[in-house]
Amino acid sequence: MKKPLSLIAIAATAAISLAACSAPATENAATTSPAAAPAPESPAPPEASTEGTPITITAGDVMVTATLNDTKAAQDFAATLPVTLPWFRNAGIEYITELNAPMTETGPFYTDVQPGDIVYYNPLDSITIIYEETSSVPTLTKMGEITSDLSVFENLPDDVEMRIERG
C-alpha cells in the first residue's frame, strides 16, 4: 500500500512543480516576445456595419435604401424578395408588417434598438422598421438598417404598401 501512495504523491508533486515552473516562463514569454502579444480586438459585429444585402423599400413615390445583415431571419426575408407588404404605423415610431409564415429565428436577440433598425419580432412573425427613438423588448433580431434619410417615414400614410426589392 505504501508503494501506490508514494507514486501518487510523486505524480502530484511533479504536476504541481511543472505548473509552478511553467507559469513564470509563460509570463516572461508574453512580456518579451512580440509573437505572444494578445491579438487586437476584432472589428464591430456585422449588425453594426453597412455591409450586407442592399435593398430598396418603395412606398408610392418614396424610395428608401437599406441593407440586410447575415442573420438567418434576414436571409429568409431576402429569399422572398421582391415582395409587396402592407405596413402600418405604430405609435409614431415604427412601421410594422406581419408575415404569413415565421422566419428562421436563431438570434442574436438585442434590446438596443436605434432609429433606422429593421428588426424581426418572432412572437408575432412581424418585421418592424424603427424610425424614431424607442425602447425595446428582448425578443428582437436585428435584420438590417435603413441607410437613407429616416424623415420620409414621418410623411407616409399610417397604412401603406411597401415594395421591398434587392437593390
> Which amino acid, residue 65?
T
Considering only residues 1 and 92, tell me which one the structure prediction assigns the higher pLDDT. 92
In which band, very low, low, confident or very high, does the pLDDT at 127 lie, cut at 50, 70 and 90? Answer: very high
Neighbours of 127 (CB within 10 A): 23
pLDDT at 49: 42
- Look at residue 145 in the predicted model and tell me its pLDDT: 97
Residue (of 80, 60, 52) closest to 146 by Cα position: 52
Task: Please report the pLDDT score of residue 10 as a whole number.
Answer: 32
Give the three cell numbers for residue 14: 511533479
Closest by CA position to 121, among listed 113, 40, 15: 113
Q: What is the pLDDT of residue 84?
A: 98
pLDDT of residue 19 exceeding 90: no
Contact 102, 160 (CB under 8 A): no
| H helix intervals, 33-104 | 72-78
Q: pLDDT grade, residue 53 (50/70/90)?
A: very high
pLDDT at 32 over 80: no
Higher-pLDDT residue of 59 and 43 is 59
- Which residue did the predictor score with more confidence, 167 or 90? 90
The answer, yes or no, to whether residue 137 has pLDDT greater than 70, is: yes
89-109 mean pLDDT: 92
